[in-house]
Amino acid sequence: MSVGSELSQLEGYPFEVRYSDGALVRARAAADVAADAYVYFSRLFAAVEPDIAVIVADEADWSGNGPYGLPFFRDDAGEIRPGIVVMPAGGGDFRIEIAQDLRDASPRGYAKLLATYPDGTGGLDLQPFFDLITVHELGHAFEVLGDLRLPTFWLSEIFVNLAMHAFVATQLPASLPTLEVLSTVGAGSRKLAARMRAEGYSTLEELQAHYTGSDDSMSPLNYVWFQYRWQRLAAKMFEVDGEDGLVRFWDCFHSTDRVNASEATAVSLAPLLTTEVSQILGRAVRDWR
């Protein structure tokens, strides 16, 4: 059965919205930010309007390759729309694992998280951050259904992180701390980086081989560590290139196979990215380790 087909429907948005019982508040929050981002991206990206559903699911209604709580976009045949953005209705064990990972790796950083994402009882509530991640997954909908032909998984993730950052910076600037603090703490932890490099995967080539959903996937927390780093890269790119860098990214790969996916590597892509998208991006890809 396709995800969301039996869930309640929320009207009034430029896409279908479905939600689990008891998740109406979360569904409205996700749909509201997605609707604003939908209009913003359509303006920037060749008037593309992807046919999607935003689905806010509890654990019982969850159907994804990763753990409950890890949002995803999917365009499998048989879904209720050509593309679905699936968001968790609540926290779950995965968010607890993220918090524990950062508390162990960076106690000082964890104190910053508590100050930015308080739950009101002295604990951590990452829900405001994950509400914004709806925009990240919506970026994948524009990428995939809008015929953006990115030759690697990691380039896809960098693109949608830049899209998310651009939207928040220009349309929701008061939410920038909500978007940025988690990734700043995660990417800035030397202890976490040392552990990932010793026990997990850290290079773009390793990411390409062990991307979430592959036969030999990296751990979800390893994947999240890459996301921290990509979000910080996106912030640096936007600071220098602004919206123009995002539009150049789109234009470079829209409806054209610039690079053979089977031959694409960080080394081979760096010159193209430097020349046609962003010097910040090209340098980061070239020097990634």
Average pLDDT, the chain: 95
**Does residue 130 belong to any structural domain of this protein?**
no
- pLDDT of 91 > 90? The answer is no
Q: What mean pLDDT do residues 155-181 have? A: 98
Please give the C-alpha separations between residue 100 and each of 120, 126, 192, in angstroms, as whole numbers.
18, 12, 12
Q: How many domains does the chain have?
A: 2
Give pLDDT tens digits for 131-145.
999 999 999 999 999
**Does residue 211 belong to any structural domain of this protein?**
yes
Pairing of strands 83-88, 52-57: parallel
Give pLDDT tens digits for 212-261.
766 788 999 999 999 999 999 999 999 999 999 999 999 999 999 999 99
pLDDT of res. 1: 55
Q: What mean pLDDT do residues 162-184 have? A: 98
Q: From 45, 74, 91, give the residue that closes a domain.
A: 91
Q: What percent of the chain clears pLDDT 90, i.e. is strictly above it? A: 92
Q: What percent of the chain clears pLDDT 70, i.e. is strictly above it? A: 99
For residues 263 and 286, membership in a common domain is answered with yes
pLDDT of res. 2: 78
For residues 246 and 271, membership in a common domain is answered with yes
Q: What mean pLDDT do residues 77-99 have? A: 95
Q: What mean pLDDT do residues 254-277 have? A: 95
Residue-number span of the structural domain to which 8 is assigned? 1-91
- pLDDT of 3 > 90? The answer is no
pLDDT of res. 27: 97
Q: Model's pTM, two decimal places?
A: 0.96
Q: What mean pLDDT do residues 190-214 have? A: 92
For residues 54 and 71, membership in a common domain is answered with yes
For residues 202 and 231, membership in a common domain is answered with yes
- pLDDT of 271 > 90? The answer is yes
**Does residue 49 belong to any structural domain of this protein?**
yes
**Does residue 139 belong to any structural domain of this protein?**
no
For residues 114 and 175, membership in a common domain is answered with yes
For residues 52 and 113, membership in a common domain is answered with no
For residues 169 and 242, membership in a common domain is answered with yes
For residues 113 and 36, membership in a common domain is answered with no
Q: Residue 234 and residue 262: Cα distance in Å, rounded?
A: 25
Confidence of residue 154 (pLDDT cuts 50, 70, 90): very high
For residues 57 and 118, membership in a common domain is answered with no
- pLDDT of 191 > 60? The answer is yes
**Does residue 254 belong to any structural domain of this protein?**
yes
For residues 109 and 207, membership in a common domain is answered with yes
**Does residue 26 belong to any structural domain of this protein?**
yes
For residues 162 and 284, membership in a common domain is answered with yes
Q: Residue 156 and residue 3: Cα distance in Å, rounded?
A: 23
Q: What mean pLDDT do residues 84-102 have? A: 94
For residues 50 and 99, membership in a common domain is answered with no
Q: What mean pLDDT do residues 54-70 have? A: 91
Give pLDDT tens digits for 15-45.
999 999 999 999 999 999 999 999 999 999 9
